[in-house]
């Protein structure tokens, strides 16, 4: 199978070179020509993410060679993935310049029995977790946050969702005490990370467990300090790091990210919210939208256009730390003594409830000079991007956590629900579904662990987008299957799987919409380097 995965990679590389040849003018890629090849670029981005997931799984199997179940899981995943890649390449062979017979050799000789056998084992042995390569320390962290998710978050998650409540203070307080806001902040600033070594893996482990408890009421609490901390660590002055990072790490300050605007979401470089220089700072004027947790936060990380020349694009942007009081609920208004005003109104959503995502209106809102991250205007886009890589891998981990919760619920239900005289888990189709869920979750997890290592070594920006793409798409399918296994009960508001389903839907939209990541980050990078 390893050899077939390499063959799949070779074919994808051939296709990427083919696209490059058709989209280049001289030695540069032409954006308009690239746009004319969106469909195959998108498919190739997905293939590349699947191949990276398969690689991560094969490495996992090699390191856990004594574990029979893991070998079964990895084999089943690689077979499924090779079928999926071969199908995708076959469909687009002509447009990708590939030979159909060569693609045909990718199809594995194995049949569906691999999945059916795995499913039977999963049901019989009630497999919720596989063996792990995590260090003892990370396993301890996982156990701590798993307890927190089960005992503190899960009991209130459903009510928060159904009543669209604020995350209760006891969750925020306990999460802060456990250090969850400081997972990407070095110890010298009060965070959980060693000073001399980044530890994205620790952050992933914590995120997964919290998201298993609830995406909206726990797992996503980490995203904002994660993005803010990475931006501050990448671009902030020493003074700014000392001022903000300890407050973020301890949870004394809660933060929100305000990048998206009503007219500009995926196209971040074109945002228009104005930052106008004054004697001692800046005045913000304009709108932001979808700023999650902006009500409860006292720190907003705001991307603004500090140079009015729109033709400068991303070079005219600066990133600001904007202070405001914390407000509970769905609406707020704050007036500064200087006359500035900030108004926020939560957008009603189908899921992802608890933090609330706000429309924000800034009117002459004053921000002092010292709150310009990096103290140099025009650098905001780079600082934002530094934060985004962290946000993307963290979102992949959020997806894994939601999938794990959905899988556990489906497995338990399949074992006890009797239809036509037998537990539905005794039927082959249910067994195959559960096996597919398990292999997908394992792949998402192992893939995110692999990318965490890359990020910690200073690389992995494109791979963070790949794992986000892979895991978030997978979460939609896994939560759908969990709901399906529950039959009518799955559609009831009172069952947790209906919440997992609506929550999972947002994962492919935020932190880089699926298409934007596939086309503008992954495919572009792969085509450029083909």
Ligand X SMILES: Cc1cc2nc3c(=O)[nH]c(=O)nc-3n(C[C@H](O)[C@H](O)[C@H](O)COP(=O)(O)OP(=O)(O)OC[C@H]3O[C@@H](n4cnc5c(N)ncnc54)[C@H](O)[C@@H]3O)c2cc1C
Of residues 277-306, which lie at the interface with ligand X (CB under 6 A)? 290-292
Site string for ligand X, 238-257 (x = CB under 6 A): ------------------xx
Candidate ranges 148-156, 162-170, 465-473, 509-517; the one touching ligand X (CB under 6 A)? 509-517
Q: Compare residues 171 and 294 and give the one whose CB is closer to ligand X.
A: 294
Query: How do strand 255-258 and strand 299-305 relate by DSSP bridges?
Result: parallel
Q: Contact between 349 and ligand X (CB under 6 A)?
A: yes
Among 389, 519, 521, 522, binds ligand X (CB under 6 A): 519
Q: What are phi and psi of 48, to 5 degrees?
A: -65, -40
Q: Which of 244, 305, 251 is nearest to 274 (CA)?
A: 305
Q: Are 243 and 253 within 8 A, CB to CB?
A: no
Q: Contact between 227 and ligand X (CB under 6 A)?
A: no
Site string for ligand X, 353-372 (x = CB under 6 A): ----x---------------
Q: Contact between 260 and ligand X (CB under 6 A)?
A: yes
Strands (E), 387-528: 418-419, 422-423
Q: Where are the alpha helices (DSSP H) in 273-423?
A: 380-416
Candidate ranges 60-68, 194-202, 440-448, 514-522; the one touching ligand X (CB under 6 A)? 514-522
Contacts of 175 (CB under 8 A, 6+ apart): 148, 181, 210, 218, 221, 251
Q: Compare residues 167 and 424 and give the one whose CB is closer to ligand X.
A: 167
Q: Are 157 and 496 within 8 A, CB to CB?
A: yes
Catalytic member of 208, 226, 476, 511: 511
Q: What is the DSSP code string of 499-510? A: HHHHHHHHHTTS
Nearest approach in angstroms of CB 260 to ligand X is: 3
Candidate ranges 20-28, 371-379, 468-476, 506-514; the one touching ligand X (CB under 6 A)? 506-514
Among 266, 276, 336, 375, binds ligand X (CB under 6 A): 266
CA 367 to each of CA 116, 237, 281, 519: distance values in angstroms, whole numbers, following the listed order: 60, 17, 6, 36
Q: Compare residues 190 and 265 and give the one whose CB is closer to ligand X.
A: 265
Nearest approach in angstroms of CB 101 to ligand X is: 32
Taking the C-alpha atoms of residue 189 and residue 162, their distance in angstroms, rounded to an integer, is 37
Of residues 51-80, which lie at the interface with ligand X (CB under 6 A)? none
Strands (E), 6-57: 24-25, 28-29
Torsion of CA 492, 498, 502, 504, to 10 degrees: 180
Among 258, 455, 464, 472, binds ligand X (CB under 6 A): 258
Nearest approach in angstroms of CB 290 to ligand X is: 3
Active site residue 511: yes
Nearest approach in angstroms of CB 259 to ligand X is: 3
Q: What are phi and psi of 363, to 5 degrees?
A: -125, 110
Among 189, 282, 362, 510, binds ligand X (CB under 6 A): 510
Nearest approach in angstroms of CB 519 to ligand X is: 6
The partner residues of 285 in beta bridges, in order of sequence, read 274
Candidate ranges 133-141, 326-334, 399-407, 515-523; the one touching ligand X (CB under 6 A)? 515-523
Q: Which of 452, 435, 507 is nearest to 220 (CA)?
A: 507
Nearest approach in angstroms of CB 346 to ligand X is: 10
Q: Compare residues 405 and 506 and give the one whose CB is closer to ligand X.
A: 506
Taking the C-alpha atoms of residue 369 and residue 435, their distance in angstroms, rounded to an integer, is 55
Catalytic residues: 511
Q: Where does this chain bind ligand X (CB under 6 A)?
A: 38, 256-260, 265-266, 290-292, 349, 352, 357, 506, 509-510, 513-516, 519
């Amino acid at each position: 199978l390893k050899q077939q995965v390499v063959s799949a990679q070779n074919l994808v590389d051939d296709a990427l070179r083919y696209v490059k040849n058709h989209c280049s003018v001289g030695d540069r890629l032409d954006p308009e020509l690239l746009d004319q090849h969106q469909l195959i670029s998108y498919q190739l981005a997905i293939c590349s993410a699947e191949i990276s997931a398969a690689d991560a799984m094969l490495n996992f199997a090699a390191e856990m060679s004594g574990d029979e179940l893991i070998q079964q899981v990895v084999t089943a995943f690689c077979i499924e993935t090779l079928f999926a890649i071969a199908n995708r390449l076959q469909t687009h062979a002509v447009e990708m310049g590939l030979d159909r017979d060569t693609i045909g050799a990718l199809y594995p000789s194995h049949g569906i029995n691999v999945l059916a056998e795995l499913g039977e084992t999963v049901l019989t042995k009630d497999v919720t977790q596989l063996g792990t390569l995590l260090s003892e320390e990370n396993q301890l962290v996982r156990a701590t946050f798993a307890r927190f998710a089960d005992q503190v978050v899960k009991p209130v998650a459903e009510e928060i969702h159904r009543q669209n409540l604020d995350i209760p203070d006891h969750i925020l307080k306990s999460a802060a005490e456990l250090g969850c806001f400081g997972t990407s902040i070095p110890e010298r600033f009060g965070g959980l990370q060693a000073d001399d070594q980044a530890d994205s893996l620790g952050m992933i482990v914590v995120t997964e467990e919290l998201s298993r408890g609830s995406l909206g009421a726990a797992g996503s609490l980490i995203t904002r300090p994660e993005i803010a901390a990475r931006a501050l660590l990448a671009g902030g002055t020493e003074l700014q790091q000392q001022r903000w990072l300890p407050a973020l790490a301890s949870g004394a300050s809660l933060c929100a990210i305000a990048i998206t605007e009503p007219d500009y979401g995926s196209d971040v470089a074109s945002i228009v919210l104005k930052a106008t220089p004054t004697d001692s700072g800046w005045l913000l004027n304009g709108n932001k939208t979808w700023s999650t947790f902006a009500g409860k936060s006292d720190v907003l990380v705001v991307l603004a256009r500090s140079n009015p020349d729109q033709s400068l694009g991303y070079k005219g942007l600066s990133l600001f730390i904007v202070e405001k009081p914390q407000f509970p609920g769905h609406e707020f208004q704050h007036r500064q003594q200087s006359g500035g005003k900030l108004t926020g109104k939560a957008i009603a959503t189908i899921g992802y409830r608890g933090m609330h995502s706000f429309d924000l209106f800034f009117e002459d809102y004053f921000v002092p000079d010292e709150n310009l991250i990096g103290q140099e205007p025009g650098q905001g886009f780079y600082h934002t991007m530094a934060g985004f890589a962290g946000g993307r891998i963290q979102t992949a981990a959020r997806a894994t956590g939601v999938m794990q919760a959905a899988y556990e619920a489906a497995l338990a239900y399949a074992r006890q629900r009797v239809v036509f005289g037998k537990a539905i888990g005794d039927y082959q189709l249910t067994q195959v579904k559960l096996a597919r869920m398990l292999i997908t979750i394992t792949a998402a997890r192992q893939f995110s662990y692999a990318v965490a290592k890359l990020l910690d070594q200073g690389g992995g920006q494109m791979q963070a987008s790949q794992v986000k793409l892979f895991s978030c798409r997978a979460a939609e399918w896994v939560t759908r299957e969990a709901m399906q296994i529950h039959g009518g009960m799955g559609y009831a508001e009172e069952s947790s799987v209906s919440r997992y389903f609506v929550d999972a839907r947002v994962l492919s939209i935020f932190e880089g919409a699926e298409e934007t990541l596939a086309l503008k980050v992954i495919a572009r990078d792969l085509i450029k380097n083909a």
